[in-house]
Structure 1
């Protein structure tokens, strides 16, 4: 049993060819749907099952894009990850709207990133 360094919901875990797992996207608080997700997680987590218990998780590079529900990470042929996705709102949100629905604090995201694992 291993503990993650932080709580994370709606995470995308991708298995790399060397058995390392990269976890990206999601949030530290809330849940998917109904606009409940807050505190987006921007750092990648790296899980190496070969390392000793307590040393298996490390933190990877940080994105500047919040990707909550309906996000994805896809392993590409060159070993990089294509990371995409946005927030779960009914209509696109082009500017942050601070109101009763926390997920509308995040804009609808159309950009795609390439994450290069270490």
Structure 2
């Protein structure tokens, strides 16, 4: 998975668990593409302080994912839903029983993940 996509998903799932200060730094650097110097000047802290805070935020978000696996489950389920969607597009060229069987199988995989 691309780094920015991974960072976005981690933040979407766990960002609210960061402090407001941490969220602001993370959003400014990762999503708003501000430099460390710009964020440091805006917040009145050192560039090193911004860097350390950014690394800490990334580690915290990754630690939550390592414990809860919500992003992993989301990505897996999204892929299975895409497979179901793809099957629905092919339904005219496929035997109805085979189609139902494959959709049931994928649906069962999703239910087991939840």
Same fold by TM-score greater than 0.5: no
The TM-score with structure 2 as length reference comes to 0.27
Question: Which of these two proteins has the greater Rg computed from alpha carbons?
Answer: 2
